[in-house]
Structures are given as structure tokens and as C-alpha cells.
Amino acid sequence: MTMRNIDELDQDLRALVAKTREIPSLPASAKQRLSRRLDLTLSGVVSATPLADPSAARHLPTLRTALLSGVSLVVGIALGLVSANLWTDSDQHLPSTASQHADASVAYADASAKRDTVPTRDAAVGPRDSQAAARPLRKATRRASVATRTARDQRLAHERSLIEMARSALARGDAPAALEATRLHRQAFGRTGQLGEEREALAIQALINTKRFAEARRRAKAFLRKYPRTLLRPLIEKAAAAVR
């Protein structure tokens, strides 16, 4: 039997399929709403789910926009710094034991190579032979270093995707989804993540949008204590003040 000779549909199933061919259909009201929302989004107005509490809602549109812009800026800067760090040859700032080990090996290999280039009286072990001997070690340590960087890249990409999910969920007014994304980020990266600051800022905004004001205030306070020099300080302070 070739791959394309697939089994026929069960008769009962065929009947079910025939009955449901036209449904579910998009309700006209939902289509209108969607069309309006698309127009708003494309004209630059961020669509958002209206809040039930008007007193809090009064402060939120500008804060939301400002906070999202701020977070995007910081994410950009952070990623820029991280990428710059990743592309430099020196990994001395990185906490990874594997990379330290790899760097130490590279340094050792380089030092050995330099030492071996000093002319010796012993003609049997010339500089070329020494360099050739050091080559496999250098290759191996470079491979280890590349593997470490790849792992770091992947980790950062994962972090970034979660932060992006939270950010876009907030932008489309889906605060619970944003909270879920920040929760997943916290669970996966906790204190070791490189985008913890951005996560916390987004989580605070999402908490405010879901009207969990007490929790938002508590987290804002912790945020400012943990990141006293954050670029997002004024925005977080304003957000916390708005729900006081």
C-alpha cells in the first residue's frame, strides 16, 4: 500500500462532518468588533480590554503605553548588551563553569603554543611540532566554547519569547495571558534569568489590569527594592500610585 492509499472515512464520521460543514460560524457582531479592533491597532491605537473599575481605568491607557514602551526599550538595551557580550571572545563575565573551563583551556592552549614557539636547542621538538600538538586541544576547547554559547543563545531566546508573549498579550488586553507568561518565565528562569527586570515590570502591569491591586503594589515595592536604579522606576512608581 502506498502512502497515498489512505483509509476511507467511517460512514458515521462522514455524516458528522457533513452536518458541521457550515459551523461554527463567525457571529456578525464579532466580525464587526474584530474589524474595528484591526483598524484601531493598525492606526496605532493599542486595543485593550476595558476594565470594570473606572477609577483604575482612568490612569491606565497612558501608563500602559508608557510602560510597554519602557519595557521594550529596556528589553532592547538588555538584548543588545547580552548579544554584544555573546559575540566577544572574552567570556570572563559569564558565570558558567563550563565556559570558564573552556576559556581556561583556550588560555592554556594559547600559552602552550606561545611557549612552544620559543626556539629550543632540542631539534627533535620544534615549534611547528608543538603547534601541531596543541591544535586538537584548541579545536576541542573552541567547540566547547561554541556549544556553551549556543546553549546560552537558546536560553536567552526562550526567555525572550516568554517576555514577548507577555508583552503582546498585554498589548492586546489579555492580562491573564500576560500573567501566565510571566509566571512561566519566573518558573523557568527565576533569579538566574537575564530579563527578570522586564518580567517583573510586565507582571505588575498585568496585575493592575486584572485589578489585583494589593498584589501589584506589593510587587512594585519589591521591584523597586530589587532594582533601585531601573530605567522603569518612574513608570512603576506611577502605576503603583495610580492604584493606591
Partner 1 sequence: MTSATHSDATARLAQIFEDEAEFVWRLLRRLGVGAADAEDLTHEVFLTVWRKLESYDTSRPLRPWIAGIAVRICARFRRYARNRYEVLAESVVEHDLTAGAEEQLHAFRLLTEVMQPLDLERRAIFVMHDVEGWSMPELAEALEIPLNTGYSRLRLARKQVAEGIARLRQQGADL
Q: Would you give the DSSP letter of residue 90?
A: -
Applying CB under 8 A, which part among 3-11, 106-114, 120-128, 193-201 lies near partner 1? Answer: 3-11
- Indicate which single residue of 20, 55, 92, 97 sits in contact with partner 1 (rule: CB under 8 A): 20
Q: What is the amino acid identity at position 82?
A: V
End-to-end alpha-carbon separation of the chain, Å?
A: 70
Quick one: which of 51, 98, 180, 238 contacts partner 1 (CB under 8 A)?
180
Closest CA to 77 of 230, 234, 240, 233: 230
- Identify the residue among 21, 93, 191, 244 touching partner 1 (CB under 8 A): 21
> In the chain, where does DSSP find H-type helix?
11-19, 28-42, 54-87, 97-117, 127-171, 175-189, 196-209, 213-226, 233-242
117 counts as binding partner 1 under rule CB under 8 A: no
Which of the ranges 23-31, 60-68, 101-109, 200-208 carries the binding residues for partner 1, by CB under 8 A?
Answer: 23-31
Establish if 157 lies at the interface with partner 1 (CB under 8 A). Answer: no
Radius of gyration of the chain (CA): 28
Residue 35 or 120: which CB sits closer to partner 1?
35
Secondary structure element (H or E) that encloses residue 10, with its range: none
Please say which residue, 140 or 184, places its beta carbon nearer to partner 1: 184
Could you say which of 22, 50, 87, 121 contacts partner 1 (CB under 8 A)? Answer: 22
Reduced 3-state DSSP string for 111-145: HHHHHHHCCCCCCCCCHHHHHHHHHHHHHHHHHHH
Is 41 near partner 1 (CB under 8 A)? yes
Q: Taking contact as CB under 8 A, which single stretch among the options 102-110, 178-186, 208-216, 217-225 is the one that binds partner 1?
A: 178-186
Q: Which is nearer to partner 1, 169 or 242 (CB)?
A: 169
Spatial distance between the Cα atoms of 155 and 188, rounded to a whole number of angstroms: 10
Interaction site with partner 1 (CB under 8 A): 3-4, 6-7, 9-10, 12-13, 15-17, 19-27, 30-31, 33-35, 37-38, 41-42, 47, 165, 172, 174, 177, 180-181, 184
